[in-house]
């Protein structure tokens, strides 16, 4: 495997998003969605969390759902950002990475690419490209949150910078297996739309089926660990998280990528 060719394919994924009309339109839509989130959710909720009249109420509500640690953060913007991003970015990752190889396979260009690169290089390059795109978008929203928070209270900038770096890494780790799952679904389905449908069925019907059989055969519970995002509820409160919680998405990503590589090697292009 040539790392140079993998990096070239990764760069091409960045070019498709940041240097094409279609990609720039998608970025504009992403920016508008986050503008609405910042304006109507984060900016409106911060006075509620910080205000003396509502602080006790917010603390009691947050304690009831396990978010007590977040309420204690002076960087209230980041507390709200974390809760929103924790569920938005995994879902966003499914959509943004829904066309890693299936579109090229339909058009026949994947066969052309395989003349100059191995199938493993194409798959890993596309995966790393999508992961880098998601990471860049995460960092951009973190920086926007940092600017909003610093405008409210400039004294929080230095601590907010470190907290923003930590949240960026955590959100990128959480998003990794979702992109790897889409890499696999791109191989076993015939379109990007069908890949998204399969992902939705996997997270809804698939988890329900496993839960049903686990009622009779308890050890089947272990299959839940193959689902990306299995640890999200454990890390949401940012308290008592373990190293395993952050290692699990890496293991899931490696597992889904390994299955994807095996499937792509056997698949006719």
How does pLDDT run across 129-160, given as a tens digit for each residue? 999 999 999 999 999 999 988 888 888 888 88
Distance of CA 184 to the CA centre of its chain: 16
What's the half-sphere exposure (Cβ side, CA atoms, 13 Å) at 220? 13
Average pLDDT over residues 50-64: 63
**Residue with tokens 């069908």, as numbered in its chain:** 194
Structural domain count of the chain: 1
Average pLDDT over residues 191-202: 89
Distance CA 163, CA 208 (A): 36
Distance CA 81, CA 167 (A): 9
Assess whether pLDDT exceeds 80 at residue 164. yes
Q: What is the pLDDT of residues 77-130, one digit of tens each?
A: 888 899 899 989 999 888 888 888 888 888 888 877 888 889 899 999 999 999
CB atoms within 10 A of CB 162: 10
**Residue with tokens 């006719």, as numbered in its chain:** 268
Rounded to two decimals, the pTM is 0.88
Distance CA 138, CA 161 (A): 14
Distance of CA 224 to the CA centre of its chain: 18
Assess whether pLDDT exceeds 90 at residue 42. no
Distance CA 147, CA 166 (A): 16
Tell me the C-alpha to C-alpha distance, in Å, between residue 67 and each of 71, 172, 178, 229: 7, 21, 24, 18
Average pLDDT over residues 232-249: 86
- DSSP summary character for residue 242: -
Computed from CA positions of residues 231, 236, 237, 241, in that sequence, does the dihedral angle turn out positive or negative?
positive
Q: How many residues does the chain have?
A: 269
Computed from CA positions of residues 40, 42, 43, 48, in that sequence, does the dihedral angle turn out positive or negative?
positive
* Domain with 182 in it: 3-266
Please tell me whether residue 118 adopts helix, strand or coil conformation: coil
What are the residues whose beta carbons fall under 8 Å from the beta carbon of 108, sequence distance 6 or more?
A: none
Are 195 and 185 contacting, i.e. CB atoms less than 8 angstroms apart?
yes
Average pLDDT over residues 246-256: 93
Closest CA to 92 of 129, 43, 122, 131: 131
Distance CA 221, CA 96 (A): 30
pLDDT the model gives residue 237: 81
Tokens of 41: 């959710």
């Amino acid at each position: 495997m040539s790392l140079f060719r993998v990096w070239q394919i990764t760069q091409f994924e960045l070019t498709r998003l940041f240097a094409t009309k279609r990609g720039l339109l998608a970025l504009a839509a992403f920016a508008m969605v986050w503008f609405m989130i910042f304006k109507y959710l984060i900016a409106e909720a911060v006075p509620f969390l910080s205000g003396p009249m509502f602080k006790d109420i917010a603390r009691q509500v947050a304690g009831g759902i396990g978010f007590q640690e977040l309420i204690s953060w002076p960087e209230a913007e980041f507390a709200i950002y974390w809760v929103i991003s924790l569920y938005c970015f995994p879902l966003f990752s499914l959509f943004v990475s829904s066309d890693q190889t299936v579109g090229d396979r339909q058009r026949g260009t994947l066969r052309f690419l395989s003349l100059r690169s191995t199938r493993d290089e194409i798959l890993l390059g596309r995966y790393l490209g999508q992961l880098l795109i998601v990471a860049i978008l995460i960092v951009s929203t973190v920086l926007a949150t940092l600017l909003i928070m610093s405008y409210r209270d400039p004294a929080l900038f230095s601590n907010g910078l470190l907290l923003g770096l930590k949240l960026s890494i955590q959100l990128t780790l959480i998003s990794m297996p979702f992109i790897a799952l889409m890499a696999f679904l791109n191989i076993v389905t015939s379109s990007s739309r069908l890949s998204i449908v399969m992902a939705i069925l996997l997270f809804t019907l698939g988890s329900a089926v496993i839960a049903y059989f686990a009622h009779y055969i308890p050890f089947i519970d272990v299959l839940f660990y193959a689902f990306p995002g299995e640890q999200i509820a454990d890390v949401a409160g940012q308290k008592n998280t373990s190293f395993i919680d952050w290692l699990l998405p890496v293991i899931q990503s490696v597992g889904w990528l390994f299955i994807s590589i095996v499937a792509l090697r056997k698949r006719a292009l």
